[in-house]
Amino acid sequence: MRQRIVINLDAPKTEGTKLVRKRRRWPRVLGILALLVLIVVVVAAAGGFLWWRHYQSTPAYTLTLLIDAAQRNDAAEFQKRIDDDEIAKNMIVSVSQKAAGRYGFAINSTIQGQIDAMAPRLKQSIHDEVVKELKAFASQSNPKPFIFLVVAVPSLVTVKTEGDTASATAKVSDRTIELGMRRDAERWKVIEFKDDVVVQRLVDNVMKELPPIGGIDANSPLLKSLRGKPRRRR
């Protein structure tokens, strides 16, 4: 009697089916991962772009441009970031007050007039001093790439913003300077420079052109009145 071997072709191929399904899952998983990575990259790029646009509108970015221009000796770019007229106007008031203060009670209208007359000439001196000090601040270390300055300036300068005005303080050598800033369209401009050392230097230069403290003013009303009185003969 012959024995027959029966093969059931309709039986489920469990192992082969599982293998095919696993192989088919991998492309789907990789596609999902790639999509997630793309979303993260797009969100990061959009966030970085928005942050950069916001940073460009801050006083810190203007200071970065100012320091970068000073390092590259780019006078045109440097001049865009400062307002000479406002800086001079604010500093002349301080210089005039301190120069007059050195005379104390000896001050008179003649000396005050001489101090006021020197104001126009002080503008160039103030510009030179401000440029020199800002370049000194920029050159405290070796010239750095612009991207490095973008990261470093906020840690070197303390900026306080209030509406359309701002103040920035920074260390130069062994002293602190303060910059007053004002919004100018999408950027900011330096409109005030406060540094006691620079002010005293300017006052010293002014005093060289004024009469010595305690000296006799030939045009004083008191001296004129004494000249007009007749002398008594002995």
Count the neighbouring beta carbons within 10 Å of the beta carbon of residue 202.
21
- Tell whether 179 is covered by a domain: yes
Residue pointed to by tokens 């913003």: 161
- Tell whether 234 is covered by a domain: no
For residues 68 and 10, which has the higher predicted lDDT (pLDDT)?
68
- What would the pLDDT profile of 131-141 be if each residue is shown by its tens digit? 888 888 777 66
Structural domain boundaries, residue 161: 59-213
- Tell whether 221 is covered by a domain: no
- What would the pLDDT profile of 71-122 be if each residue is shown by its tens digit? 888 888 888 899 988 988 888 888 888 888 887 777 778 878 888 888 778 8
- Tell whether 222 is covered by a domain: no
* pTM for this predicted structure: 0.67
Asked if 99 and 23 sit in the same domain, the reply is no
- What would the pLDDT profile of 6-46 be if each residue is shown by its tens digit? 555 455 555 555 545 555 677 777 888 888 888 999 999 88
Would you state the pLDDT for residue 10? 54
Q: Sheet of 157-162: strands edge to edge?
A: 157-162, 165-172, 175-184, 187-194
Beta bridge mates, 168: 159, 179
Domain count, the chain: 2
Is it the case that residue 60 has pLDDT exceeding 70? Answer: yes
What is the C-alpha separation between 152 and 90, in angstroms, rounded? 29
Determine which of 64-78, 164-178, 204-218 has the lowest per-residue pLDDT on average: 204-218
SS3 letters for the chain?
CCCCCCCCCCCCCHHHHHHHHHHHHHHHHHHHHHHHHHHHHHHHHHHHHHHHHHHCCCHHHHHHHHHHHHHCCCHHHHHHCECHHHHHHHHHHHHHHHHHHHHHHHCCHHHHHHHHHCHHHHHHHHHHHHHHHHHHHHCCCCCCCHHHHHHHHHHHEEEEEECCEEEEEEEECCEEEEEEEEEECCEEEEEEEECHHHHHHHHHHHHCCCCCCCCCCCCCHHHHHHHHCCCCCC
Asked if 166 and 188 sit in the same domain, the reply is yes
Would you state the pLDDT for residue 223? 39
Would you state the pLDDT for residue 105? 75
- Tell whether 229 is covered by a domain: no
Residue pointed to by tokens 């790439």: 145
